[in-house]
Chain A
Amino acid sequence: MVELILDQFTEAIRQAIARQRPVRIRGSGSKDFYGGAPQGEVLDTTAYRGIIDYAPEELVITARAGTSLVEIEAALAANGQMLPFEPPHFGPRATLGGCVAAGLSGPRRASLGAVRDFVLGVQIMDGNADQLRFGGQVMKNVAGYDVSRLMAGSLGTLGLILDVSLKVLPRPKAEATVQFECDEAQALQKMNRWAGEPLPISATCYHDQVLTLRLSGAETAVQAAQAKLGGQALAAGEDFWRGIREQSANFFRGNAPLWRLSVPSTAALDLPGKCLIEWSGALRWVFTEAEAGVIRAAAEQVHGQGTMFRGTAKPQSVFHPLPKPLMDVHRRMKRAFDPHGIFNLGRMYSDF
């Protein structure tokens, strides 16, 4: 069965090469909105599914690209573990392949790391329809270039991800959410200062004069931190963070384009529109009608970058434009993986 699906993938890629037609790799389509407009015939990965190996005491799970995140998270939860990077699903059938290809991480990112930090190994099908394996199921591995992590966030432009091995972590024994009233400058100061102290902070969010923190860890550690920091406890903490991760919170209801700005955590950013801050200040969500150029100039001024995350009228480049020498390296790397130029054209940058 599994072999049959792989044969179909191989055939689809060979056909694409022969006809010089692009292929659009797609899981459930939960992130169709993200990146440049997809082109080409859909190569559906959802049939290639299932957890291949999961050893809780090894802290490693390996699953096929089409496996749903829901299935993976349920298997982990049954063993008291989790995906440490808390990925947004953006849809009920979001797949592991899509999660790694999009490279998006959730609220826990600033404290535990991003998708790329937990990718240990991958099997891919490259642009010649060859199956290649990189990395493995072990945590320390420095043999060869780190192609596995390179797949995270590559938006399917380098190859078809077949399976992925991820490092997982135990779920915290206890969690609590607390809120403080303050202005943005105070919030940035507090988030950064506290991140530099031995406190069990696992997520931060600031919006509309309210700073929200999540504390995670041993029960006694969470209680001690709560006593030290004060603030108002929020009973529905889990719902709150789900709303931020999945963008179902009220803030994310808006018609203006939604920009995602990645900036140094202490940066003061001055942009028109409503803003929500995560990751101790390193991630800013802004709804704004301002021109892409204006937004990116503001981001660059503080050594940051801007992505147009959601919006109907997309700018010429959804992702922050790269300086020429860096773009040249990208083009050459794309050719190394995908010499015929068939995978997810235009999804990341317009010319590859």
Chain B
Amino acid sequence: MSKSQTLSVEKNKLANQLRAFLPDESVLIEIEDQKPYESDGLTAYRKLPMLTVIPETEAQVQQILRTCHAAGVPVVARGSGTGLSGGALPLENGVLLSLAKFSRILHLDPLARTARVQPGVRNLAISEAAAPHHLYYAPDPSSQIICSIGGNVAENSGGVHCLKYGLTVNNILALRVVTIEGEILEIGATALDSAGYDLLALMTGSEGMLGVITEVTVKLLAKPERAQVLMAGFDDIEKAGAAVAAIISAGIIPAGLEMMDKLAIQAAEDFVHAGYPLEAAAILLCELDGTNEEVSEEIKRVHDILQSSGSTSLRTASDDAERLKLWAGRKAAFPAVGRLAPDYYCMDGTIPRKRLAEVLARIRDFSQHYGLRVANVFHAGDGNLHPLILYDANKPGEMARAEAFGAKILELSVEVGGTITGEHGVGVEKIDQMCVQFQPKELTLFHALKAAWDEQGLLNPGKAVPTLHRCAEYGAMHVHQGQVRFPGIPRF
């Protein structure tokens, strides 16, 4: 029998086993039915799974995992599929496990400020449900209108408010997880501390490699009384960087602190007319939130700091409409830059902020060397840099040059003491750069940890942690214009 025949025999056998406890419509085997699952937000990578299952209950998830475990079939879990690093990319010899039907908010306790939700619940839906109680769920990844909380936990998603409010790991309390053997683990607690190792931290950002999440308990925070934003333009990006350091040194932790360089400013302004100063080399957007008194006091201080940091223009949003308009440009930066060239390649390194000027200068050098333009968008508060490399995949050699350029930027991030990924995850996209960031013995420990949860390596194999074998080649993510999976949702 050929390989594909063997696969088809296996597929039918497994489908029959799964149909013994799942309704027929929850087991997809046809190509056209499975097409929507062939990729996540990283559309450069596509693969059809052997079959797709869409369970509705935790007991079904347990049975699916037990069945796959017994059969030695790999499983890839998937939420909304908005991830940018290919973490939910299916395997052709594996089962794609969609948690889309786990979409209920199970319990919201306004007094204890917690919500217990199923993993398929959308990030924004939690804040919407909490809104009548003047509470919200803090992490706000740009895809929050569609991304699921289960996926947020798997990727440890961030957003623009991380500096002050933390990442997913800082905002969840408990998980229910099904292991590959079908056991249920209750991790964390509705209380603040729980006995044993901090498995909640380990699970967060583990990219579906350790278990399948069936329930998440999140913390809800009081909505700030007021939020206000300032925008400052600079004729020199180094001055903008120094202004960021000055704000933080003054003891102020802004709710959001974002920087854009000239190319990004021009693209965004052209796209949404936010009122950005086109002549500026860089702009800073600084949002302050808190009690009314606190914001009044801090706005004044930040205004003074920006003024004395040599800003060439300075504006404070006078109302919410103006605040949202200033943010609109920043939030539209990715699609705006996407209009400048047929393709762009988005990087996600984090660097110590004090190295920003040096890093941007080296990126400029790389840009000249490779003959490709780059726009920089920066979560300046926490050092998370998104250089967007512009290229045209139809021009011979450009894609390879963009890849090489991107790899240089990631290596540079590691070299200055940072990381290859701040919030998009490793997935399949950055798996080769993991070899730059970690030594063989560290990767070996990652594999040992994985084996402690999943001895046969059946959960999302091939993602997040490279084999030592693999640590020789480099790969990269490319976004081809028009192929972005969710063109309608913001990306920043």
Which positions in A face B, CB cutoff 8 Å? 55-60, 80-81, 103, 109-110, 113-114, 116-117, 126, 130, 132-134, 136-147, 149-150, 152-154, 158, 169-171, 173, 189, 192-193, 195-200, 217-221, 223-225, 262-266, 279, 282-283, 303-305, 307, 319-323, 325-326, 329-330, 332-333, 335-337, 348-349
Chain A's nearest CB lies how many Å from the CB of B111? 5
Chain B's nearest CB lies how many Å from the CB of A331? 9
Determine whether the beta carbon of A149 is less than 8 Å from that of B198: yes
Most buried by A among B169, B223, B249, B445: B445
The 8 closest A-B pairs by CB, nearest first: A170-B251, A149-B201, A332-B452, A140-B422, A336-B448, A220-B293, A57-B245, A221-B294
Chain B's nearest CB lies how many Å from the CB of A175? 13
Chain B's nearest CB lies how many Å from the CB of A199? 7
A337 CA to B447 CA in the complex, in Å? 11
Q: Is the C-beta of B490 less than 8 angstroms from some C-beta in chain A?
A: no
Chain A residues with CB under 8 A of B426: 142-144
A-B contact pairs, 28 of them (CB 8 A): A57-B246, A57-B354, A81-B251, A132-B439, A138-B419, A139-B384, A140-B162, A142-B156, A142-B419, A142-B422, A143-B430, A143-B437, A144-B465, A145-B206, A146-B156, A170-B252, A171-B251, A189-B111, A195-B113, A195-B222, A198-B290, A265-B191, A304-B189, A305-B193, A322-B196, A323-B186, A325-B183, A326-B187
Given A149-B201, A196-B134, A196-B222, 10 other A-B residues pairs in contact with their CB atoms under 8 A:
A57-B248, A57-B249, A80-B251, A136-B419, A138-B350, A192-B112, A196-B133, A221-B297, A304-B189, A349-B196
Chain A residues with CB under 8 A of B452: 329, 332-333, 335-336
Chain A residues with CB under 8 A of B382: 138-140
Q: Find B196's partner among A80, A173, A330 (CB 8 Å cutoff).
A: A330
Q: Is the C-beta of B190 less than 8 angstroms from some C-beta in chain A?
A: yes
Determine whether the beta carbon of A198 is less than 8 Å from that of B222: yes
Q: Is the C-beta of B352 less than 8 angstroms from some C-beta in chain A?
A: yes
A322 CA to B246 CA in the complex, in Å? 47
Question: What sequence of 0s and 1s flags, for each residue 173-214 of chain B, a beta carbon within 8 Å of any chain A beta carbon?
Answer: 000000100011111011111111111011011100000000
Chain A's nearest CB lies how many Å from the CB of B251? 3
A220 CA to B352 CA in the complex, in Å? 33
* Given A142-B425, A170-B252; A200-B418 close (CB under 8 Å): no
Chain B residues with CB under 8 A of A224: 291-293
* Given A113-B166, A282-B191; A132-B198 close (CB under 8 Å): no
Determine whether the beta carbon of B297 is less than 8 Å from that of A220: yes
Chain A residues with CB under 8 A of B423: 140, 142
Q: Find A146's partner among B194, B205, B441 (CB 8 Å cutoff).
A: B205
Determine whether the beta carbon of A126 is less than 8 Å from that of B445: yes
Determine whether the beta carbon of B449 is less than 8 Å from that of A336: yes
A325 CA to B211 CA in the complex, in Å? 13
Q: Is the C-beta of B312 less than 8 angstroms from some C-beta in chain A?
A: no
Determine whether the beta carbon of A146 is less than 8 Å from that of B294: no
Q: Is the C-beta of B438 less than 8 angstroms from some C-beta in chain A?
A: yes
Chain A residues with CB under 8 A of B225: 198
* Given A139-B350, A140-B423; A170-B253 close (CB under 8 Å): yes
Determine whether the beta carbon of A218 is less than 8 Å from that of B205: no
Q: Is the C-beta of B73 less than 8 angstroms from some C-beta in chain A?
A: no
Most buried by A among B112, B298, B354, B453: B112
Chain B residue, CB-CB nearest to A339: B448
Q: Is the C-beta of B286 less than 8 angstroms from some C-beta in chain A?
A: no
A322 CA to B183 CA in the complex, in Å? 14
Chain B residues with CB under 8 A of A114: 192-193
Determine whether the beta carbon of B205 is less than 8 Å from that of A196: no
Chain B's nearest CB lies how many Å from the CB of A39? 19
Chain A residues with CB under 8 A of B421: 141-143
Q: Find B418's partner among A113, A136, A145, A221 (CB 8 Å cutoff).
A: A136
Chain A residues with CB under 8 A of B290: 198, 200, 217-218, 221
Chain A's nearest CB lies how many Å from the CB of B485? 20
Chain A's nearest CB lies how many Å from the CB of B172? 11
Q: Is the C-beta of B272 less than 8 angstroms from some C-beta in chain A?
A: no
* Given A224-B291, A262-B193; A140-B384 close (CB under 8 Å): yes
A220 CA to B114 CA in the complex, in Å? 30
Chain B residue, CB-CB nearest to A139: B382
Chain B residues with CB under 8 A of A262: 189, 191-194
Q: Find A132's partner among B252, B296, B441 (CB 8 Å cutoff).
A: B441
Determine whether the beta carbon of A305 is less than 8 Å from that of B183: no
A220 CA to B290 CA in the complex, in Å? 12
Residues of B253-272 contacting chain A, CB below 8 A: 253
Chain A residues with CB under 8 A of B206: 145-146
Determine whether the beta carbon of B194 is less than 8 Å from that of A145: no
Chain A's nearest CB lies how many Å from the CB of B341? 27
Q: Find A305's partner among B158, B179, B194, B352 (CB 8 Å cutoff).
A: B194
* Given A57-B245, A146-B156, A195-B222; A326-B185 close (CB under 8 Å): yes
A192 CA to B110 CA in the complex, in Å? 9
* Given A138-B418, A304-B189; A145-B202 close (CB under 8 Å): yes
Chain A residues with CB under 8 A of B197: 150, 153-154, 158, 330, 333
Question: What sequence of 0s and 1s flags, for each residue 402-442 of chain B, a beta carbon within 8 Å of any chain A beta carbon?
Answer: 00000000000000011111111110001000100111011
Chain B's nearest CB lies how many Å from the CB of A32? 20
Chain A residues with CB under 8 A of B64: none
Q: Is the C-beta of B379 less than 8 angstroms from some C-beta in chain A?
A: yes
